[in-house]
A and B are shown apart, each in its own frame.
Chain A
Amino acid sequence: MLVLDRVTLRFGGLVALDEVSFTVTPGSLHALIGPNGAGKSSCFNVISGLYRPTSGAVRLGEQNLLELRPHRLAGLGIGRAFQNTALSTHSTVLDNVLLGRHTLTRGGFIACSLRWTRREEKRHAARAREICDFLGIGAAVDQPLGSLPYGVTKKVDIARALAVEPNLLLLDEPAAGLNTEETAELAATIGQIRTDLGIAILLVEHDMDLVMGIADQVTVLDFGRVIADGTPGDVQTDPDVIKAYLGATT
């Protein structure tokens, strides 16, 4: 269970997040939406430890995430995919996905160079292939990433986050840069991850329509403040939300 408790984040005079509180319950697909500049990415970066909030708390179960160095989050079962796919373009798909196994494996220079980890590597490579198959990119595992279309690399990014074996998956605008068809396919993939793997997903998204079809719970941000928090049905009819979105588009 991920809990944000009155998180405030200031950049100088600008309040990017203003007493933001919400809870992501285990196994749920929780969407965080809002118009441009609402503070979604800032919120995401606070959770993933890249920004330190001015005040407030972020907890995963009993663990206070703010007292950890950010690289520890993966070990706690938090997987993260990036807005603009942050992958190694020269490496193969498998090599990229295997990076997600980093905290699940051991071995520094000595163990690796002396091949002590060979069997473990094989085992984890098999699991990485399984994850790629699950996401429908199994045919591309041995190809260099640079040769693949954007839609596929997006899935590689998600595969890498899943390779962490997370119980919470953070997705930052996964539909950014995809066309309608690819977006629909992605929505299906996300739904499949939730139902087949049973992990909680926090989905940061700009596109209301994508979110409303698949989310269990929606939190709406506007000017750094939570203006609505509820089921897609509730939120869609909320006058504040309608106003915020209309205000942003007109």
Chain B
Amino acid sequence: MSKLLWIPVAVVLLALPLYLDASWLKAGQYMMIGAVGAIGLTLLSGQAGQLSLAHGFFLLVGATSYSVLSGTDDDLVGLGLNPLLALIGAVAISALAGVAFAPVAGRVRGIYLGVASLALVFLGLYLGQAAGSLTGGTSTGRAPATFELFGFSFSNEGTLIVAGVPLRGTERLWYLFLILLALSYWLAKGAVGTRIGRSWRAVRDNEAAATAMGVDVRRTKAGVFAVSSAYAGLAGVMIVLWFDILKPDENEFGTYGINTSIAFLAMAIIGGLGSIPGAVAGAVVVYGLPQLLTLYSTDLGWFTGSVTPVLVSSFVYGAAIVLVVLFEPGGLAAIGRRIKELRS
């Protein structure tokens, strides 16, 4: 995207909380969570060519780490750290969890790596239930500490009025998420265009050539897993702040389950593997659709019994993946590039 185009985009995103009501803002925040996670996965699977279905697990690692590091509950493990430190700590712990998976990532490739990484989701399911003193357990979960930045609380606390609109918790969280997404995007862009990004693509395209050019393939794979997991961990922190609760899944489908891992992969594929703006667009499709359908569900009157917005949107993004794979492997990113070429 050209530099000038960013200005109107930023203005609109910054102004939205003044016009939209909370339920719409929640939907937008959910898409931002998806975007942060999807950027991480598109670096791993798109740029470095490492298929991973473990994203849901790393989300859980980040979510749990934040809750534990910042937590103050008496009956659960909690360190009561400053929420900003807890967020940074959670991202770091998620990165380490990604590095811990490196010995596996260094040995298996392609679809086998995908299956091996899927095992982590089941590990997460087990740990989420077994380590109740950390996660709060499946029945009650645990409430995360409210996020705070230098004494400013991202909750309904205090009154803050801008242009006649009171900015309450939801509005404030919107700005927090916007900052986190912008930072994630900017960092990823910087990495992709330089030395580290080249080493990722080299590992993806030809390991022998990468080695001959001095790239330590094993280390590069471990590193990109760490980066991708850090992004997933950040998305995990955002998701506990969004739900305002950490609740481990009861089965393999849930907030941190297989469906989540697949949804992130869908975002990366629909957006065009390896493309960062594409990942954001993919997140808007995959996470935006169920949110919008839910908001409109009563007006639409489509949803009865087992036909839920989530189910319908799964079908839609499933179809979108098939269309992308068949007709435009470059995804939304490639379509965007083509539009840009037409204009110039």
Contacts and interface: CB of A to CB of B under 8 A. Distances in A.
B194 interface: yes
B212 A70 contact: yes
Interface string A222-242: 000000000000000000000
Interface in B197-221: 197-199, 201-202, 204-206, 208-217
A164 B209 contact: no
Contacts of A106: 195
A114 B211 contact: no
Given A102-B195, A113-B187, A117-B195, A69 B213 contact: no
Interface in A95-113: 95, 98-103, 105-109, 112-113
B96 to A, nearest CB: 14
B191 A95 contact: no
A112 B191 contact: yes
Interface stretch (A13-21, A25-33, A81-89, A176-184): A81-89
Interface stretch (A1-9, A54-62, A72-80, A210-218): A72-80
Classify the interface of chain A: helix, strand, loop or mixed.
loop
Contact of B216 (A71, A105, A113): A71
B194 A74 contact: no
A88 B48 CA distance: 12
Contacts of B215: 71, 99, 102
A162 B212 CA distance: 12
Contact of A112 (B196, B201, B213, B226): B196
Contact of B198 (A48, A73, A98, A118): A98
Interface residues of A, number: 40
A94 B206 CA distance: 17
A50 B214 CA distance: 13
Contacts of A99: 198-199, 202, 210, 213, 215
A90 B209 CA distance: 15
B198 A95 contact: yes
Interface of A: 48-50, 69-75, 80, 82, 86-91, 95, 98-103, 105-109, 112-115, 117-118, 121, 160-161, 164
Nearest 4 CB-CB pairs, A to B?
A74-B214, A86-B209, A103-B214, A113-B187
14 contacts: A48-B212, A70-B211, A71-B217, A82-B208, A86-B206, A87-B206, A88-B206, A90-B205, A98-B195, A99-B202, A103-B213, A107-B195, A117-B195, A164-B213
